[in-house]
Amino acid sequence: MTILAFDLGGTAVKFGVLTTAGEILEKGKFKTPDTLEEMIQSLVDVKANYDYTFQGAAFSCPGAVNNEIGIIGGASAIPYIHNFPFKQLLEEKLGLPVTMENDANCAALAEVWIGAAKDKQDIIFMILGTGVGGAVIRGGKVHHGANLHGGEFGYILMDRDGHTLSELGTVVNAATRIAERLDVPKASIDGLRAFELRAEGNKIAKEELDTMFYYLARSIFNLQYALDPELVVIGGGVSERADFIQELTEYVAKVKATVPIATISPTVVGCQFGNDANLIGATAFHLA
């Protein structure tokens, strides 16, 4: 038996046929449709193109996903999937049992199932992009929270001026501040260029990346003592840099050193899966 998995994104919908062990047998993608009707037809067409016997359909979705009632709250770049019985519609049109889970939670579940956090029960998963998203896994399951906002680490306040972790703890925003201070177009400096400038001896780049690492490390230290995870798994494009996790770990150690009574050192690792994480995690959630 196989699972038909979909990862609904703002620009593209990825899909795959996965085994119950998480192996991807087939995969592909299509441009995110403009309307609900077009989306449903595209999903039905994907299913029709395969001869597999599907156990069910697993969806990774943006927003505040409530699988129990089958509704996705909040808002996203796919507005037409929100705030109505989306799961029921999918089951009717696909003729399969459907599960839905938030995309960040799916990425975390992939790592717990067969990735960097395999066999771990309690982890924090942080996705670094334009902001900081993520998930909390407790007892091997997603901790959604009372308002389905568990893992929204980007909202954490980092100073008295109201700056959040998303503002201060991401390479994307560090690059923006570097561009502003150098008085050059923002588009001319991305995360990669920010690290290149630092390597070239640019003091402003060094200051802003130091700030980014410090606040990210500080949040990890705080979360370690609040939730006591076995691992902190870092995802997002920047985590693919060979030296990023090592440097972040060094900053976490520096933060810990400022608290003499602290005895626990957070264990920080990079994620194993990239673009396929949500398909794998959606499948894990479906099989749970």
The pTM of the full predicted model, rounded to 2 decimals, is 0.92
pLDDT classification of 93: cutoffs 50, 70, 90 = very high
Q: What is the pLDDT of residues 146-179, one digit of tens each?
A: 999 999 999 999 999 999 999 999 999 999 999 9
Size of the chain in residues: 288
Q: Which two tokens stand for residue 267?
A: 């264990």
Within 36-162, strands assigned E span 54-61, 64-66, 71-73, 98-102, 123-128, 132-138, 141-142
State how beta strands 123-128 and 231-235 pair.
parallel
| Average pLDDT of every residue of the chain | 96
Strand partners, 234: 126, 270
Nearest 5 degrees, angle CA 231-CA 233-CA 238? Answer: 150
Tell me the percentage of the chain whose pLDDT exceeds 90: 95
Instruction: Give residue 141's pLDDT.
Output: 94
Q: Which domains does the chain have, with CATH numbers?
A: 2-108+275-287 (3.30.420.40), 119-270 (3.30.420.40)
Q: How far is CA 15 from CA 76, 109, 222, 273, 283, in A?
A: 19, 17, 37, 15, 11
- Residue 237 above 90 pLDDT? no
CA quadruple 214, 165, 272, 150: dihedral sign = positive
Gap between the Cα atoms of 229 and 280, Å rounded: 22
pLDDT mean over 97-122 = 97
Is residue 107 a contact partner of residue 125, using CB atoms and an 8 Å limit?
Answer: yes
Instruction: Give residue 157's pLDDT.
Output: 97
pLDDT mean over 116-135 = 95
